[in-house]
């Protein structure tokens, strides 16, 4: 009888701990930005729009070997693609250009929808000038998070991530919304722009 009671108490404690962990985990994302503010980290959050025009700002350098043909959202497996795309304040291509995304991607999914991407994004926004470097996996038709791995100018030593989400995948120019979540660690503060 004592063994059954002990097992019951252990089970109740285990369920309590698991529920507490589930609540903590689900609440973590919502408190993420508040956590950084409480700990005095300087942060900057904004969105820009990347405009990529095939054979004008983006080019296939090496054709892939398998998978779907080249389309607005797909390239064959192994395709090497390079780009130098303008970044604007709104989805409209004629809005003010405040940055340039330049980089490369290699199609890494046999379905032609996924790629490994590397980019340097040069920015002149909200009194900040410099560049950030990002790397990560991109899904051509779904949102993708990319970690920030470095920066220059006012973005020296920054950390954070960018989220790339498709806005318009029709026509010659495709448009992606790029959301920036930039944090300066305590030992690095942005310099005043010249």
Q: Express each pLDDT in 92-122 by its tens digit.
A: 999 999 999 999 999 999 999 999 999 999 9
| Burial class, 121, CB count within 10 angstroms (exposed 0-12 / middle 13-18 / buried 19+) | buried
Range picked from 37-41, 64-68, 103-107 for highest mean pLDDT = 103-107
Report pLDDT digits (tens) over 121-166: 999 998 999 999 999 999 999 999 999 999 999 999 999 999 999 9
Instruction: Indicate if the pLDDT at residue 17 is higher than 50.
Output: no
pLDDT at 176: 97
């Amino acid at each position: 009888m004592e063994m059954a009671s002990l097992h019951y108490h252990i089970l109740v404690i285990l369920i309590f701990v698991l529920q507490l962990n589930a609540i903590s985990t689900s609440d973590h994302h919502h408190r993420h930005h508040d956590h950084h503010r409480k700990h005095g980290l300087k942060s900057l959050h904004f969105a820009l729009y990347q405009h990529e025009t095939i054979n004008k700002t983006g080019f296939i350098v090496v054709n892939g070997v398998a998978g779907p043909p080249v389309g607005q959202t797909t390239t064959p497996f192994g395709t090497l693609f390079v780009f130098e795309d303008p970044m604007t304040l709104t989805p409209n291509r004629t809005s003010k250009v405040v940055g340039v995304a330049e980089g490369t991607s290699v199609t890494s999914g046999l379905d032609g929808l996924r790629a490994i991407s590397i980019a340097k994004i040069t920015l002149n926004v909200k009194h900040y000038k410099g560049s950030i470097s990002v790397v990560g996996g991109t899904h051509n038709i779904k949102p993708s998070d990319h970690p920030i791995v470095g920066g220059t100018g006012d973005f020296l030593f920054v950390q954070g991530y960018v989220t790339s989400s498709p806005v318009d995948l029709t026509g010659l120019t495709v448009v992606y919304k790029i959301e920036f979540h930039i944090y300066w660690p305590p030992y690095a503060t942005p310099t005043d722009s010249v």
